[in-house]
C-alpha cells in the first residue's frame, strides 16, 4: 500500500518503526553507499532528501578546490532512491565546481519536477542569471566556509539581500566552532538560513559547546533550519548509533521539529573510504525524531514549503 496522506502515514508509522528489516533490494548495489538492504523505517510518500550532490568530471573543477570526489551520477543516485523509498530531492552544487552550476541544473532537468537545487554564486552574478537559476529549480545559495570556495563571508549580506525577493534561502556549511563568531552576521540575514550537517557541532562535548548554544539561539529566532545529515563527519563514536551526535540532534529536534530537515549527503564526499550505510543512517535519524507527526514534518512538510515543492 502506498502511503500518500499525513493520516495514512501516522497510522502506519508505529508499525513500520517496529518492523524487521525489509528484504534486500536486488540490483541496488549503488556506488558510494555501503550495505544493500532497505531501511526498516518506511519513508512516507513525498519525502524529500534535502542534501545530495552530483559529480561529473566532464565539468572543470574550480581552481584551488580540495574536495574532488569521483563521479557520482544521477543514475547511481536513482538506485539509492529506490533502496530508501524517496522520490524527491535537492541537488546541492558542491564546492568542487565553484560557481559553475551547469551540472546541478542538468541534474535537476533529469530528475524533473521531483527535484530542486542549491547553487553557488558570487558577487558578480547578474539579475538575469538569478532569474535563469530560479526557472531551473534553484531555491537557495550555498556558502561553504569549511573549504576554500567562491562564496566568501563578505558576500553573505549583499547576496542574501538579492535573493530574498526570489524567496530563496542561504545554506551554510561551516565548522560548528565558528558559529559563535558568525552569529551576528547570521541573525541579521533578510532571508531564511539552513545550517547543514547538524550544525557541525564538534565532538566530544557537543551538548555543552558554544556551537550548540549558538545554533539553538539561531533556531529559536524562528528563521533558521537545521539539516539532519552527515553525523559521521563530527562523530567520534561512529556508526550506527553516533552516540555522541545523537543528543545534539535530539536537542535541536525537540526544540523546533518544524524547522528540521533531512538529507542523505550522498555520495558522502568527505568520506573517502568506509562510506556509510544509507539505510542504517536513515533508520538512526528517524529514531532520533521518534514521533510520527514530527517525522512527517521533517521528511515532507518542512522541506516542501522551504524548497517550494508542490
Q: Is residue 225 part of a domain?
A: yes
- Crossing angle (nearest 10°) for helices 102-111 and 74-84: 50
Peptide bond before residue 204 is cis, with ω within 30 degrees of 0: yes
Taking the CA atoms of 12, 256, 237 and 182 in sequence, report the sign of the dihedral they define: positive
- What is this structure's pTM? 0.89
Per-residue model confidence (pLDDT) at position 52: 98
Per-residue model confidence (pLDDT) at position 265: 97
Per-residue model confidence (pLDDT) at position 203: 97
279 to 240, 296, 301: CA distances (angstroms):
10, 18, 21
Per-residue model confidence (pLDDT) at position 7: 56
Q: 244 catalytic, yes or no? A: no
Q: 299: which DSSP letter? A: I
Give the N- to C-terminal CA distance of the chain in Å, as an integer: 22
Indicate the pairing of strand 224-228 with strand 260-262: parallel
Residues 6+ apart with CB under 8 A from 147: 65, 66, 67, 95
Phi-psi region of 129 (alpha: psi -120 to 50; beta: other; left: phi over 0): alpha
Q: Determine which one of 196, 234, 244, 265 is catalytic.
A: 265
Q: Is residue 59 part of a domain?
A: yes
Cα within 13 Å of Cα(43), Cβ side:
29
Q: How many domains does the chain have?
A: 1
Which domain, by its residues, includes 54?
A: 40-306
Q: Is residue 209 part of a domain?
A: yes
Q: What is the mean pLDDT of each run of 10 residues along the chain (310 residues)?
A: 51 41 38 92 97 89 74 94 97 91 96 97 96 98 82 92 97 96 96 98 97 98 97 96 98 98 96 92 98 98 96
Q: Is residue 23 part of a domain?
A: no
Q: Is residue 25 part of a domain?
A: no
Q: Is residue 6 part of a domain?
A: no
Q: Is residue 136 part of a domain?
A: yes
Q: Is residue 32 part of a domain?
A: no
CATH number for the domain that contains residue 277? 3.20.20.140
DSSP per-residue codes, 118-138: EE---TT--HHHHHHHHHTTE
Amino acid at each position: 500500500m502506498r502511503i500518500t496522506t499525513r493520516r495514512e502515514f501516522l497510522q502506519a508509522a508505529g508499525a513500520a518503526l517496529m518492523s524487521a528489516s525489509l528484504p534486500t533490494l536486488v540490483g541496488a548495489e549503488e556506488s558510494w553507499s555501503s550495505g544493500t538492504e532497505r531501511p526498516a523505517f518506511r519513508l512516507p510518500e513525498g519525502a524529500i532528501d534535502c542534501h545530495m550532490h552530483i559529480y561529473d568530471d566532464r565539468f572543470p573543477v574550480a581552481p584551488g578546490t580540495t574536495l574532488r570526489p569521483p563521479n557520482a551520477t544521477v543514475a547511481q543516485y536513482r538506485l539509492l532512491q529506490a533502496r530508501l523509498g524517496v522520490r524527491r530531492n535537492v541537488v546541492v552544487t558542491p564546492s568542487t565546481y565553484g560557481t559553475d552550476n551547469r551540472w546541478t541544473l542538468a541534474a535537476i532537468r533529469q530528475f524533473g519536477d521531483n527535484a530542486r537545487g542549491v547553487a553557488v554564486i558570487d558577487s558578480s552574478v547578474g539579475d538575469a542569471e538569478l532569474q535563469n537559476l530560479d526557472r531551473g529549480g534553484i531555491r537557495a545559495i550555498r556558502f561553504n566556509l569549511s573549504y576554500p570556495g567562491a562564496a566568501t563571508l563578505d558576500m553573505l549580506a549583499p547576496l542574501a539581500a538579492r535573493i530574498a525577493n526570489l524567496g530563496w534561502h542561504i545554506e551554510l556549511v561551516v565548522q560548528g566552532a565558528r558559529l559563535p563568531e558568525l552569529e551576528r552576521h547570521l541573525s541579521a540575514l533578510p532571508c531564511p538560513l539552513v545550517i547543514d550537517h547538524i550544525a557541525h557541532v564538534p565532538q566530544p562535548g557537543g551538548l555543552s559547546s558554544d556551537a550548540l548554544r549558538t545554533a539553538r539561539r539561531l533556531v529559536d529566532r524562528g528563521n533558521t533550519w537545521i539539516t539532519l545529515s552527515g553525523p559521521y563527519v563530527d562523530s567520534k563514536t561512529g556508526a550506527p548509533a553516533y552516540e555522541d551526535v545523537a543528543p545534539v540532534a535530539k536537542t535541536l529536534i525537540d526544540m523546533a521539529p518544524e524547522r528540521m530537515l533531512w538529507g542523505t549527503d550522498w555520495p558522502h564526499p568527505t568520506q573517502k573510504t568506509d562510506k556509510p550505510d544509507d539505510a542504517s543512517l536513515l533508520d538512526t535519524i528517524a529514531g532520533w525524531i521518534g514521533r510520527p507527526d514530527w517525522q512527517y514534518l521533517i521528511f515532507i512538510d518542512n522541506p516542501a514549503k522551504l524548497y517550494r515543492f508542490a
